[in-house]
Amino acid sequence: MPKFKTILVTGGAGYIGSHCVIDLVNEGYDVIAIDNFANAVGDDEGSPALRKAEEITGKKITFYKADLLDKPQINEIFDKHEIDCVIHFAALKAVGESMQQPLLYYQNNLLGMLNLLEVMRSHSCYQMVFSSSCTVYGEPETLPITETHPTGSITNVYGRTKYFIEEMLKDLNTADKNWNIISLRYFNPVGAHPSGLIGEDPTKEFTNLMPFMAQVALGKKPVLTVFGNDYNTPDGTGIRDYIHVMDLASGHVAALNLLNDNHIGLKVYNLGTGKGVSVKELVTVFERVTGTKIPLKYVDRRLGDITAMWADASLAKEELGWCARYSIEEMCTDFWRWQTMNPNGYPKKNVKSSVIMNGTS
């Protein structure tokens, strides 16, 4: 068993958080998940994603509907549980929306993190894995992007909130050496759990490419809107490093295991495949894997988007013992399995959940 026993996962009912919870439980950790359902599907009685996570793992998961902006509520959760480490996913995350509602993003993402850090400190919990983003790099100066690439020249508000939090963590680590933090800058999450039981829910508002493709393939949307076909790339569409959500989950477990055994202060790692794939290329693979046709509609570039970026994740391989294992074909296959098994998202709750709500079963 690890030295850490109990892990708090903020945003634990969300797309990436729920997949990470599965890996944590399978690794033997006790998980407490919290979520305010800003991005995830759920209600006062719990989270369908976490109910499916229980089905996959065969273990109960403690869940609280909670908001990081409610500091007394977070403090109460820490009072109830002896939390050893926090994996912090919770954030608003839509690039376009962040440009339209910057104050909302600054309030939610920055103040939420401040509240969390202050509550952690008051309970002598100094271990954290932070869900950062490749957006902190802005428009890349060189490719592939290493962790030493300059940060700060960011093209959107969402990315700036991640950058400001990273700067906050640097200052915190400088001022107080008790802190032990890993910041994971990951690239573009796609795919779903291979079981097809959990994935990115299509009933919530989303802006990511693969869920849109799947909705078009299912006939729920008429056409896939592609933002820009005049980029300086081989086929004119933007290039990204797409990474399977289960690879991201295992990356967080690898980071947690490193914190378990070492006091490292503050470290940053890229999580990506190291391969750039254009929008057109991803569509082509998705069509081939699913046997469907995706009609495309090209529109103007989206404010805040960049031309191309992909990771150099060799540092994570060297120090975390982690590397991405899933191919683009597997990413598309797993997401399509999730969508065809759940065309309308998570099934409505019709039985009493076994998820432990608010510490009681």
Active-site residues, by number, are: 158
Give me the phi and psi of 285, to 5 degrees please: -65, -45
Cα–Cα distance, 346 to 338 (Å, whole number): 10
For the chain, strand residue ranges (E) read 6-10, 30-35, 62-65, 85-88, 127-133, 180-186, 188-190, 224-227, 239-240, 242-244, 266-271, 277-278, 296-299, 356-357
The residue among 63, 65, 64, 58 whose CA lies nearest residue 28 is: 58
Beta bridge partners of 102: none
Cα–Cα distance, 97 to 110 (Å, whole number): 16
The torsion region of residue 304 among left (phi > 0), alpha (psi -120 to 50) and beta comes to: left
Residue 144 preceded by cis peptide, ω within 30: yes
Cα–Cα distance, 109 to 68 (Å, whole number): 9
Cα–Cα distance, 228 to 298 (Å, whole number): 6
Half-sphere exposure at residue 317, Cβ-oriented, CA atoms within 13 angstroms: 11
Cα–Cα distance, 78 to 150 (Å, whole number): 36
Distance, CA of 76 to chain centre: 25
> Tokens for 352?
């009493």
Cα–Cα distance, 265 to 126 (Å, whole number): 10
HEC sequence for 187-253: CEEECCCCCCCCCCCCCCCCCCHHHHHHHHHCCCCCCEEEECCCCCCCCCCCEECEEEHHHHHHHHH
